[in-house]
Structures are given as C-alpha cells and as structure tokens.
Amino acid sequence: MLLNEFLFLAAFLFCVGVYGALARKNAVFVLMSIELILNAVNINLIAFGALTDNLAGQVFALFIIAVAAAEVGVGLAIVLLIYRNRHSVDLGQVDLMKG
C-alpha cells in the first residue's frame, strides 16, 4: 500500500481535530478534539514504523496512548474545577488571565 494513503488520512483527522479545538466553546469537546489530533499522530507513527520495518513507531504510539490517558485525566479534573467555580465550561468566559 502507498504510504501517502495513511499520511493523508492522518492529515485529514489532524485538521478536523484542529478545527474542533478552535471552533467549539465546550471545554470537554476541545479535549475530545485533542484526542483526535493525538490519534492522527499515532497513525503517522505506525505508518512510518511499517515503512522502515522498525518497532520504534509502535512503541512510541503506545507511549502516546499513555500520555493521552494522563492528559485526559488532568484535563477533565481542570474542567470540573472550572465548572465548580464558574458554573459553566464555556471557554469564552474563562478569561481571568486576559491582559
């Protein structure tokens, strides 16, 4: 199979994830979009690993899955804290640090 098929698929998922992270108001949805971006990176890693017949791609895809799990745990804790303090998870209203 052509390598570019996988890379194009990953690029598409990456761009949709970036759109979701930029255009949505809900903080939990932004976290979901970031998962989509991480998945696109994983597809790239495994495709390149298969291209070079190297296990490093798969190993680092596993590490990215672990990092994604950690990121979601901490991210959701932060979102819950924001909700508890402001009764809303609208990212447009989280502007305490705006200059």
Partner 1 sequence: MVHDLNVAQQISFGVLAAAMCLSALRMATTKNLVHAALYLVVVLAGAAGIYILLAAEFVAVTQVLVYIGAIVVLMLFGLFLTRAPIGKAQDLDNDQRWLAAVVCVFLFGVLIAVLQRAFKGQHVAVRTIGRTADIGTAIFKDYVIPFEVASVLLLAALVGAVVIARRD
Interaction residues for partner 1, span 64-93 (CB under 8 A): 65-74, 76-81, 83-84, 89, 91-92
- What SS3 string covers 52-75? HCCCHHHHHHHHHHHHHHHHHHHH
Distances (CA, A) of 7 to 46, 49, 51, 87: 10, 12, 12, 41
* Residues binding partner 1: number (CB under 8 A): 71
Q: Which of residues 6-65 bind partner 1 (CB under 8 A)?
A: 6-9, 11-20, 22-29, 31-33, 35-36, 39, 42-43, 46-47, 49-51, 53, 55-63, 65
Q: How far is the CB of 98 from partner 1 (least distance, A)?
A: 15
